[in-house]
Structure 1
Amino acid sequence: MKSHFAAAFLLLALITGKAAAQPPLASLTGPTMGTTYHIKYWGDQPNDPPKVKATIDELLAEFDRQMSTYRDDSELSQFNRAAAGEWFPVSADTARVVEESLRYYRDTDGVLDVTVPPLLRLWNFSAGAKRDEPIVPPEPKALLAARRLVGSQHIHVQTEPPALKKDFAGVEVDLSSIAPGYAVDLIIAKLQELGFANAMVEIGGEVRGVGLRPDGKPWRIGVEQVDATDGTLARIVPLHDMALSTAGDYRNFRTADGGRFTHIIDPRTGRALPYVGASVTVVAKTCTEADALDTPLLIMGPDDGYKWCVEHRIAALFQTRTADGGIVTKTTEWFDELAPQAPTKPEPQRTSAE
C-alpha cells in the first residue's frame, strides 16, 4: 500500500528448485490493492486451488473494504471524513493495524506517520494522483498549514470495542506504509488455518515465507540491486518463517524545478524526499514489521537508519547509488547472517513489484 497500495519498489525473485517425488506445489495469483498477489503453498492434504483462491479473494476483498484509501465507502475513508473527538467504530483488523502504526510511530520517533495524507495531496502523491503530472513544490505557507494536520499523536485507538478517534478535524489516516504487510500475515494465518503449513505469500513486494519448499529448502527471495535495469540481484534471502520488505525511491518520482522528487514524504519536514537512487530492505519475523520499517529507514538515510537498526537489532540492507553510477551498500550483521553472499548473476524466475 505504499503508493497505490504497492508496498515495495524493487524486483523480487522467487527461486524454486525441482526434485523427484516432491509434494505438489500450488500457485495462485490475482489483483488486490492496486497491485497483485502471488501465493505458493503445499501441505499434506489436497491443495484445492479454486477453493483456496476463493477464500483468499474473500479475505482480501474484506481487507479492501476496511483500509483502502481508494474507496469512499471503506472504513478508513469514512473515518477520515468523520467528526473529531468522537469514537468511530471500525473492524478489529483496522484497529489493530492503526495500533501497530502508533507503536512504530513511537519507536521511530515519528518517522513512520500514517497521518500524512494532507502532505501527500500537497505534493500530488495522494490516491488517484497521475504519475505523469509534474509537481510544484508547495509554498511555505501551504506546507505549514498541511503540517499542522500531521502527527500520529492526534490519533487514538481502542480495541474493545474497536474504534478510532481523532483530536481535530482534518486529521486523516493512510495505512499504505504498513497494511500490505499485515495483509500478507493474514493470508499466511488463513493458509495455516486451512492446513497448509508451507507457503510463500507476496503482495506488491511485501513477502513472507513459512515452512519449506517441497524440496525441503527455504523459500528464497532475490532482492534487486537498486535502480537496476538488467535484473541484477544484490542478495538472495532465504525466508524460513521470516518476511521481507523493500522501500525504494526509484520507481515512483516526479519532476519539479529541474529536479526529481520521490513519492516518499518525510513527516518531520513535510517535504518529499529528493531522488538519489536508494533502497532499504528489511527482514523480520512478520511482514507487518518489515513493511512498517522499510520506509522510515529510507527516510532516516543510510547513516542514521543503519544506526537505528543496530540499536534495535534489525536485519537490514541499505543500497545507495553514487554520482558516478556506483552503489554503496551497508548491511547489519543480522542481515548478513541471513543472506551472507551476493549472487553472481541474475536468476531467471522473478516477480515484479512496482
Structure 2
Amino acid sequence: MSDKPVSLITPPDGYNDWLAELKQRIHASQQRATFAVNRELIQLYWQIGRDILERQAEQGWGAKVIERLAFDLRAAFPEMKGFSPRNLKYMRAFAEAWPEPAFVQEVLAQLPWYHQLALLEKLSDPESRCWYAYEAIQHGWSRNVLVMQIETRLLERQGAAVTNFEASLPKPQSDLARESLKDPYRFDFLGLSAESQERDVEEALVRHVTEFLLELGAGFAFVGRQVLLDVGGEEFFLDLLFYHLKLRCYVVIELKTGKFKPEHLGQLGFYLTAVDRQVKTDLDAPTIGLLLCKSKNKVVAEYALSDKSQPMGIAEYKLLESLPTELQTGLPSIERIEQTLAEVKNGPEM
C-alpha cells in the first residue's frame, strides 16, 4: 500500500477525462433536480393562489381567511418557509395575473419565485410581463438583472435605434440586428457627468466592461478598445470593437459626446470597410457599425442613413445625470447583479 496522500497518487490514463465527464453529469443532474423542485414549487403556489381566489369569490371569504390559513399551514409544515400571510397574498396575485395553467406550467415554472414577484410588482401590463418573462428565461437573468432591465425600460428601448439594416442586410439577419440595438443606452454605472469627454466615457466603459456587456445585451463579446488598423501606411484606431455571436459579425462602436452629425457616418463607414477587409473572415457576416452620441435629430439620422449601403445604426447614450432620480438610487450594483441567489430551496419566507 502506498504511503502517498491520495491527492499525490498519479491517476491512470484516461482518468482525468472520465472525471471531467462525471463532473458534467453531476452538475447537469443537480440542475435538473433544482429545476424540478422549482417547477413543483411554482405550480403549488399557483394552485394555492387559485384556490384562495375561487373561495373568496364563490363563498365570500374575507381577507382574514389568509391570516388564518397562514397560521394553520405553518403549524402543519413548520419546516417549510413561504406560508406567511404576505406570501399567500402574492400567491393569490400570481394566480390572478396568470389565469392559464398551461402557461404557468410550461413557461413561468422555469423562473424562480422571486422572479415572479418582480414581474408582479414592477409591471401591470400582461404583455410586458410575458415579454420580460421570456427574456429572463432565454438569457438566464438573475432576479436583480430582471429588475434592472424592467426599471431601465428595456422593452421600450429594444430595437429602437435608427438603422438602415432593412436595406443593407438580408432577412432574417436584418431583423435580428435591429433587435440587437437599443436607444438610448444607459451608462449610469459609469458615474460620469454629462460634460465627460469621449475618451473618459470610452475608458470608463472598458473599466466596467461587465456592466457594459450587460447593457449591450446578449450575444456581444468584447474584442478590444482603440483597435489599431493600418490602412495605406496610416494608423487608425477604432473606439470599441465587439463580436456578436448570434449575428456572427464584428460590431464597431464609435462614441461622440456631442449631437449627431451626418459626417460622423463617413468615418464609421471607413472603419467598417477596414474591418471587413483586414479582420473579417469569409465565415463572418458584414461588419455592423453603431454610432453612440449624446443626442440626435431622428429625421436627420434617417436621412443620413438612407443612402448608406453598409449596415449602420445610430443611438443615444445617457449618463448618470440623464437618469431619473429613482433609477439612480434603485439600480443594483454589479456585485448584486453577479450574486447567485438561492431562491428555490424551501421557498422564500415573506
TM (norm. structure 1) is 0.24
- When you count helix as a share of all residues, which structure comes out higher? 2
- When you count strand as a share of all residues, which structure comes out higher? 1
Q: Quick check: which has more Rg, 1 or 2?
A: 2
TM (norm. structure 2) is 0.24
Higher relative contact order, structure no. (Cα contacts within 8 Å, ≥ 6 residues apart): 1
